[in-house]
Amino acid sequence: MVNLVVFLAYSLIYIELISFVAGIYYFKKFKDSYWKWFIYYLGLISLLGFFQLHVIIEYFEEYNNYFGSYLIIPIEFMFFFWLYAYKSLKKKNLFWVFSFLYLLSFAMHSFIKKEISSFYSFNYVIGAFLLGILVFLEYMKQIKSDDIIKFKENMMFYINLGVSILYIGTLPFFSFYGIIIKDLDLRMNYYLFFLIVNNFMYILFTLAFIWSKPNTY
């Protein structure tokens, strides 16, 4: 299982990169829409993931949790808050409220515990819960739309499916992180699941660039 985990961890970086390359390849199709920012986002995440795997973990492993908890994860949640609430759902106030609550969770937890493992779990749970609300609202929007039959052309269909599988699907892992981390087999199984759905999410992002159109129904 360890070999499979290592393989999936490395493959994730390159699948992220493939998704970014697909976005660049189809950039002309999306350059006049806000989806161009999604392509830039994938480029940034690919760069940070590559840097984390080949530099941080390789030479500064003691800072790996800090790098993920304070930089990569917040960027991911803040971007998806913007993409869902501000752009797709057209609820700008919801974007600001959710962003404030998520960032507030950092300050809140600093008064509780200072261990980075606990910090990582707490803020991930808050971010995933808020993102889960946006995912639900997006599903409701798509179901009620007269254009639901055009789901194959809808960028948000692929994004929403991938995000819901990863962030909502792995929520139990981070919710009970303090318990799971004490059981090596359970931790490995959950981490394996995390890597599988993470890879799958970026595959969906790649398909979104290939099959969809820049407008979101």
Neighbours of 201 (CB within 10 A): 23
Inside any domain, residue 21: yes
Please give the pLDDT value at position 85.
98
Inside any domain, residue 76: yes
Inside any domain, residue 88: yes
Band of pLDDT at residue 164, cut at 50, 70 and 90: very high
What residues have CB less than 8 Å from 184, skipping those under 6 apart?
A: none
Q: What's the total number of domains in the chain? A: 1
Tokens of 13: 């970086």
| pTM above threshold 0.85 | yes
Inside any domain, residue 216: no
Higher pLDDT, 127 or 117: 127
CA distance 217 to 208: 14
What's the helix, strand, coil split of the chain in %, to 5? 85, 0, 15
What residues have CB less than 8 Å from 73, skipping those under 6 apart?
A: 120, 123, 124, 127
Higher pLDDT, 75 or 189: 75
Inside any domain, residue 217: no
Inside any domain, residue 83: yes
Inside any domain, residue 38: yes
Residue range 87-106: average pLDDT? Answer: 96
**Residue range of the domain that includes 33:** 2-211
Sole residue written with tokens 């797709």: 88
Q: What is the mean pLDDT of the chain?
A: 88
Band of pLDDT at residue 116, cut at 50, 70 and 90: very low
Band of pLDDT at residue 114, cut at 50, 70 and 90: low
The answer to whether 51 and 60 are in contact (CB under 8 A) is no
Please give the pLDDT value at position 31.
92
pLDDT digits (tens, 9 = 90+) for 3-46: 888 899 889 999 999 999 999 999 999 999 999 999 999 999 99
Tokens of 46: 């690919």
Please give the pLDDT value at position 113.
62
Nearest CA to 166 among 134, 141, 200?
Answer: 200
Rg (CA), the chain: 17
Kindly tell me if the per-residue pLDDT of 118 is higher than 50.
no
pLDDT digits (tens, 9 = 90+) for 57-76: 889 988 888 898 889 999 99
Residue range 159-171: average pLDDT? Answer: 89
Per-residue HEC secondary structure of 7-32 comes to HHHHHHHHHHHHHHHHHHHCHHHHCC
